């Protein structure tokens, strides 16, 4: 994800997620159980068995989520990360503007991912914020990449085949890559400033627990300290292999409230419709 000041262009800091070992498995039954003759007693036993398995899977997934969430205080995980010069923390910082040697500055955002957990017997969902792994806060390793050499896929916003465009092209003609270009009410046609030449990048990974069956649903979550309802300070660009999605951060739309944490969920733009990530 790229956190970009709005409307004037500044340094860009991407978030490059590393998702842990996701695997999909598809099973095709030889015959659907409802098409097979069976005795009521057998049907009842099968239903109880299926319900028990779903409940067991849910409890197992809950345990995995809790284990991942507590990695920040797990000495084994913390020491292993430290041996590679890394830290496991509750959230990561997108500080495109921060005072030297300080945790404060004119443009700072907190970010992580939020995992969905579907209740096995109802439409209710639980949401869990996941820890991240990164270099220590004051020893972050970054790199500068020319805007013309940083590419993102576009086309998903209008249901068209994907193509790659440079970040300079995207920021220079932003309305062209929005599902609702009129939602940007300003007169500007570009977010680029004359001084903009490179994008500042750093690698920061989030841990994603995978549910039984090989699939997890999640959203990036971002809170910007300078944004207010009606006065957004940051424009986010969420880039995946399936396309690029653009939205402002006002900390109110699609808000997250999870214990001590809050922020705004980010969604994939599926031809103008919001979609969580899997």
Angle, CA 2 vertex, CA 70 and CA 10 arms, to 5°: 125
Asked if 188 contacts 7 with a C-beta cutoff of 8 angstroms, the reply is yes
Q: What is the DSSP letter of 162?
A: P
How far apart, in whole angstroms, are the C-alpha atoms of residue 92 and residue 137? 9
Q: Is residue 29 part of a domain?
A: no
List pLDDT tens digits, range 29-63: 333 333 333 444 444 455 777 778 788 888 888 99
Q: Is residue 30 part of a domain?
A: no
Query: Which residue segment(s) compose the domain that 214 sits in?
Result: 2-21+40-275
Tell me the pLDDT band of 261, cut-offs 50, 70 and 90. low
- Chain-centre distance for alpha carbon 186: 28
Q: Across the chain, what does the average pLDDT equal?
A: 81
Instruction: Please tell me the total count of domains within the chain.
Output: 1
Q: Is residue 27 part of a domain?
A: no
Q: Which of 107-121, 212-226, 264-278 has the highest mean pLDDT?
A: 264-278
Q: Is residue 31 part of a domain?
A: no
Q: Is residue 26 part of a domain?
A: no
Q: Is residue 35 part of a domain?
A: no
pTM for the predicted model, two decimal places: 0.76
Quote the tokens at residue 256.
């997250």
């Amino acid at each position: 994800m790229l956190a970009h000041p709005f409307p004037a262009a500044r340094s860009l800091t991407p978030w490059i997620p590393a998702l842990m070992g996701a695997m999909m498995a598809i099973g095709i039954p030889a015959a659907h159980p409802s098409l097979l003759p069976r005795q009521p007693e057998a049907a009842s036993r099968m239903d109880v068995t299926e319900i028990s398995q779903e409940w067991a899977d849910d409890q197992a997934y809950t345990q995995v989520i809790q284990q991942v969430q507590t990695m920040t205080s797990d000495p084994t995980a913390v020491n292993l990360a430290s041996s590679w010069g890394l830290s496991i923390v509750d959230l990561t910082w997108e500080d495109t503007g921060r005072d030297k040697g300080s945790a404060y500055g004119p443009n700072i955002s907190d970010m992580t991912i939020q995992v969905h957990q579907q209740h096995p017997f109802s439409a209710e969902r639980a949401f869990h914020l996941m820890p991240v792994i990164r270099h220590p806060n004051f020893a972050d390793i970054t790199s500068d990449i020319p805007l013309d050499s940083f590419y993102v896929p576009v086309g998903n916003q209008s249901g068209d085949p994907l193509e790659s465009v440079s970040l300079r092209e995207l920021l220079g003609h932003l309305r062209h890559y929005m599902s609702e270009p009129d939602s940007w009410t300003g007169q500007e046609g570009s977010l680029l400033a004359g001084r903009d030449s490179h994008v500042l990048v750093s690698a920061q990974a989030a841990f994603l627990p995978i549910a039984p069956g090989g699939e997890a649903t999640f959203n990036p979550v971002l809170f910007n300290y300078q944004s207010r309802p009606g006065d957004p300070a940051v424009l986010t660009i969420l880039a995946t292999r399936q396309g690029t999605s653009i939205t402002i951060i006002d900390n109110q739309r699609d808000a997250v409230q999870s214990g001590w944490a809050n922020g705004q969920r980010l969604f994939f733009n599926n031809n103008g419709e919001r979609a969580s990530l899997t």
